[in-house]
Amino acid sequence: MKYLYYPGCSLKSSGKLYEISLLAVLKRLGVEVEELENWNCCGATNYMSINESYAIEITARNLAIAERMVGIEMIVPCAACFMGFLKTQKYMESDPVTREKVNDLLNKAGLSYTGKVKIRHPLDVLVNHLGTDALAKTAEMPLKGIKVASYYGCQLIRPYATFDDQWNPHTMDDIARAMGATPVDWPLKSRCCSGSMTSTMTGIGLRMNYVILKEAKSRGADVIITACPLCQFNLECFQGKISRKLKEDVRIPVMYFTQLMGLAMGIPAKQLGLKQMLSPSLVLT
């Protein structure tokens, strides 16, 4: 099956290792993707804080383009984009006034959206479409003995996502298990990483990331895996600073789940961006 693919801004810059590893893994699994034409930013949380109508409208534009490209299902890897799409669909479905207003704007731009596009996160596609049995067969180099702390963050599962359990998400753990690794049970898997607060309220942002890193380490994890570019960036790129400031070593490999999958599938480290990481490398035994 062929999917449309909406990368969003982060996967083209600070989260580019997510993009390259995701595309490498999907290719290996025979999942074909085509990037959405002339897409625009989803607006993330900032548009919701300033002007909600704009936030809905610009996301609806992406949905309309997807519909024009006859994309019935679109893969959206970034948690913030993913949630933005689900929210826009929800508002357009449930509120006729919004739907009419947005469609009016779209029509003027030569677009229309009738609600046909299904938004899917890569975790959903891998676990619920391909299935963990199929994934397990691709693990040429099973990650035996590697303890994985899956970190889902917030907007990937809350408040609209239905592909995983909001209270106790497991899709990333399922994948880790299929790759031969051992998931670690820990209570902070869906606690907020503070988002962009590492750049605004730095002290608070670092503190929130410290708690997550420390908990994963104390539970014996060898690696934290994430499915969001912002979570990954915060946990990976600030762990050095946190360790220095708090005089406590909380450094630990923080990878995208797709990088971990790629490792198990025997995809060369370079193609997964593993040489470009700032956090320690995962030592395979």
Partner 1 sequence: MNASSSDILTQGLTVKLEADLDKNFGETIAREAHGEKLFGCIQCGNCSAACPLSVWMDYTPRKVIAMVRAGFKQEVLSNRTVWLCASCYQCTVECPKGIKITDVMYALKREAIENKVYPKNFPVPILARTFFNEVKRTGRINEIFLLTIYYLRYNIFKMLGYASLGMKLFMKRRLSLFEKGMSDKKEFKAMLNQ
Contacts to partner 1 by CB under 8 A: 9-10, 12-14, 16-17, 37-41, 43-52, 54, 57-58, 61, 91, 95, 105-106, 108-111, 154-155, 158-159, 166-167, 191-192, 194-197, 199-202, 204, 208, 237-238, 241, 276-278
Please identify, using beta-carbon distances, which residue of 58 and 125 lies nearer to partner 1.
58
Query: Min. distance of Cβ 197 from partner 1 in angstroms?
Result: 6
3-state secondary structure of 52: helix
Please identify, using beta-carbon distances, which residue of 146 and 216 lies nearer to partner 1.
216
- Tell the residue number behind the tokens 């299902």, with chain if given: 73
Residue 166 is classified by DSSP as: S
Buried b or exposed e, range 95-133, using 16+ CB within 10 angstroms: eeebbebbbebbeeeebebeeebebbbbbbbbbeebebe
CA 94 vs CA 40, 99, 203: distances in Å: 24, 8, 39
Query: Min. distance of Cβ 258 from partner 1 in angstroms?
Result: 16
Please identify, using beta-carbon distances, which residue of 61 and 121 lies nearer to partner 1.
61
- Tell the residue number behind the tokens 């399922």, with chain if given: 174
Query: Min. distance of Cβ 212 from partner 1 in angstroms?
Result: 10
Query: Min. distance of Cβ 108 from partner 1 in angstroms?
Result: 7
Furthest C-alpha separation in the chain:
59
Please identify, using beta-carbon distances, which residue of 13 and 285 lies nearer to partner 1.
13
Query: Min. distance of Cβ 12 from partner 1 in angstroms?
Result: 5
